[in-house]
Amino acid sequence: MKTIFAFISFVLFIQSSYSQGTKELTLKEIWASPTFRPEYIFGIASMKDGIHYSTLSTNEGGLKIEKHGYATSQKVADILVASEVKLPNGATLEFDDYVFNEDETMILVATESEPIYRYSTRSRYVVIDLKSKKATYLSAGKQQYAGFSPNGKHVAFVKENNLFIKDLSSEKETQVTTDGLSNNIINGASDWVYEEEFALKEAFFWSPDNSKVAFLRFDESKVKEFSMNTYGELYPGVYKFKYPKAGEDNSSVSLKVYDLPTNKTITMEVGNDMNQYLPRVKWTYSGAELSVVRLNRHQNHLELLLCNPLNGEVKTLLEEKCETYIDINDNLTFLKDGKRFIWSSELGGFNHLYLYGMDGKKINAISSGNMDVTEFYGVDEKKGLVYFQSAAPTPMDRSIYVSNLNGKSQKVLIKGTGHHAPEFSKTFDYFVLSKSSANTPVSFEMYGGDGKLIRTLESNEKLKSTLSGYATAPKEFFNFTTSAQIVLNGWMIKPPNFDAKKKYPVFMTVYGGPGHNTVENQWEGANYLWYQMLAQKGYIVVSVDNRGTQYRGEAFKKSTYKQLGKLETEDQIEAAKYLAGLTYVDGSRIGIQGWSYGGYMSSLCITKGADLFKMAIAVAPVTNWRYYDNIYTERFMQTPKENASGYDENSPINHVARLKGKYLLIHGTADDNVHFQNSAEMVTALVKANKQFDVFYYPDKNHGIYGGNTRLHLYTLMTDYILKNL
């Protein structure tokens, strides 16, 4: 009872203390103006000495890389002023990211970048000598993933699907591979599905002693091709790329090591079976061995292998098996003593960090508690301290922790409601903290390594002042218990000047899929403001995290295994029923909207929950899991051959006959992730069932549907639809 009373008291407090103006929000202000744009501190990177950091500035004087002291936060010097650098072609230097070489005498920047897929780009890389300000193009044409060797004397990069190495002193360029071919062979970069689902883009790895480069080779020759039409020209073009759908062939992936002194390449004996994955590669601290994570196709059997880079021989260091699936992360860290490493796993019920010996035996847990570790920031080996973030004190919050390597002294470094994310110095003596909450924009603060505040760097008071002039209401957190006795978390925004004696329509927003929660105590920016605008127009806006979402332990997250969409939809329907039962809700006017997995969910809700939902908007939805990629889909569903009912019973195209309410389907025709095919097939199914609906497509727009006026147009379209039909 004390917990419930404290929660209610907190809600009443934020309601009574919330500053409320009178102005109404507009879509143009939200999506096409800088009115509500927060100030950020960009490009923060600890410098080698651990007492200074560099950051990108676009203030007076144009684009600059500045050097600041952690202790004072004051600028010490301008490291690079873009206007002082002349590119070989005479163009002005423009970039949004940079990397130093080992002694911080040179930087590498990407210019003229163009997207390849959702995360990957192709750029003209420029090497800049910071003393002379001389800028040199790395190579002819454009490259991918250029990166300095550990000693800063070489740069490796990928060009036209081949791996290259450039010696910066001699200017000699060595082509390591020669068989690269578009839509066939890729060396040193990943294929589409590894990039999208394993977050692996760059696929080459320097050894610590600079003598070797390990790299993955993708043979896509047996992967089926997917094509998309492109518009804007007299004759539409066709873009083709390899996309393995559920149950279909993957790339054959092999791991190789190139030795610079001998100019020879050795293949590691990890196999190249199309039914296995190699999603992570990392050298041990000494570089004597190369580790690789190997997963089976079901992604429920993981092996951490150690490879001998001299002869390719392999041995198993660690092995995990699971009844459902195992998520991949970047937490593996080999310690300098060569005897131990840090590993994370959720097989104990929650995701935690563990210390292992190089014999593969677990020594002890580093983190503990009924909370998931959400980020691992690193280890200070001199002090024996490990820094990490956890979903605490509630699944909606993020706190920062520090623990001894022996796990015997875990303590909170930064605690409190809201989201906290630090950027540590190399020595862990300082960190820059970005923090926000559901109703408070992001701010940046400087802390000492002991967790004591030094000063505020950016509070975004101007934005807070601007917001105070608008009629808004706080985002309030709540929970309820379903008929299956499952407690679900949600948030709610009520209209300004809310009157509990009135009846209000409800607009629900949903994602609902693995890996992404919407019920977060974190500033949502433009989406938050759009929800506030809808609340101003008389809607209660709600979001609920269903079963299958994260940060409540392994069992809650993996409960949807082999039946994606079933329990999630049941929970969203339960949420609608709960809301309809509130005295101030008009239960006949409940709508729902979602994007991507959320579009899949809104499509299921308007069909399976046809008697509860009056309206639904689906943006870029999956409508049949058979159309989606195999790494993501099979992780949760196995293959269509093994689990046909799981695929078909919860695919929206098979439930269109139930549709009663208003349904708006939106998609970009150049969506390389959730293909436009999903919406085309949904239209076919709706027409076959003789169901009326609304549809809108954005030519040549990808999964993000943005660029120019696109976002303003999209949100105007959705807002008008809500006002008309809900």
Does the residue 172 lie in any domain?
Answer: no
Does the residue 449 lie in any domain?
Answer: no
Q: What is the pLDDT of residue 416?
A: 81
Report the distance separating Cα 204 and Cα 206, nearest Å: 7
Task: Give the mean model confidence (pLDDT) for residues 578-587.
Answer: 98
Does the residue 520 lie in any domain?
Answer: yes
Mean pLDDT of the chain: 94
Kindly report the backbone phi and psi dihedral angles of residue 719, in degrees, each rounded to the nearest multiple of 5, phi listed first: -60, -45
Report the distance separating Cα 13 and Cα 567, nearest Å: 34
Q: What is the pLDDT of residue 118?
A: 84
In 3-state terms, what secondary structure has residue 385? strand
User: Alpha helix (H) ranges present in 26-178?
Assistant: 27-31
In which domain, by residue range, is 694 found?
2-34+474-725
Among 367, 543, 596, 651, the one annotated catalytic: 596
Share of the chain above pLDDT 70, in %: 97
Report the distance separating Cα 290 and Cα 549, nearest Å: 34
Among 352, 420, 675, 703, the one annotated catalytic: 703
Annotation marks residue 596 as catalytic:
yes
Does the residue 97 lie in any domain?
Answer: no
Tens of pLDDT along 673-685? Answer: 999 999 999 999 9
Who wins on pLDDT, 376 or 8? 376
Report the distance separating Cα 66 and Cα 323, nearest Å: 50
Tens of pLDDT along 224-242? Answer: 999 999 999 999 999 999 9
- Taking the alpha carbons of 297, 299, 300, 301 in that order, is the dihedral positive or negative? positive
Number of structural domains (the chain) is 1
Does the residue 303 lie in any domain?
Answer: no
Q: Are 3 and 454 in contact (CB under 8 A)?
A: no
347 pLDDT tier (thresholds 50, 70, 90):
confident
Annotation marks residue 73 as catalytic:
no
14 pLDDT tier (thresholds 50, 70, 90):
very low
Task: Give the mean model confidence (pLDDT) for residues 189-195.
Answer: 97
Q: Are 299 and 277 in contact (CB under 8 A)?
A: yes
Kindly report the backbone phi and psi dihedral angles of residue 268, in degrees, each rounded to the nearest multiple of 5, phi listed first: -75, 145
Q: What is the pLDDT of residue 20?
A: 65
Does the residue 500 lie in any domain?
Answer: yes
Full strand arrangement of the beta sheet holding 276-283: 276-283, 290-296, 301-307, 314-321
Report the distance separating Cα 313 and Cα 140, nearest Å: 37
Least confident stretch, 61-75, 153-167, 450-464, 679-693:
61-75
Strand partners of residue 697: 667
Assess whether pLDDT exceeds 80 at residue 84.
yes
Q: How far is CA 357 from the centre of its chain?
A: 31
Share of the chain above pLDDT 90, in %: 91
Tens of pLDDT along 622-646? Answer: 999 999 999 999 999 999 999 999 9
Q: What is the pLDDT of residue 96?
A: 84
Annotation marks residue 167 as catalytic:
no
Report the distance separating Cα 535 and Cα 518, nearest Å: 18
Peptide bond into 393 cis (omega under 30): yes
Report the distance separating Cα 319 and Cα 338, nearest Å: 20
CATH of the domain at 524: 3.40.50.1820
Instruction: Identify which of 4, 10, 13 has the alpha carbon closest to the alpha carbon of residue 487.
Output: 4
Least confident stretch, 110-119, 461-470, 651-660, 691-700:
110-119
Contacting residues for 643 by C-beta, under 8 A, at least 6 apart? 562, 637
Q: What is the pLDDT of residue 11?
A: 43
Does the residue 99 lie in any domain?
Answer: no
Q: Which helix (H) or strand (E) holds 467?
A: helix 461-468
Among 671, 672, 675, 679, the one annotated catalytic: 671
Does the residue 653 lie in any domain?
Answer: yes
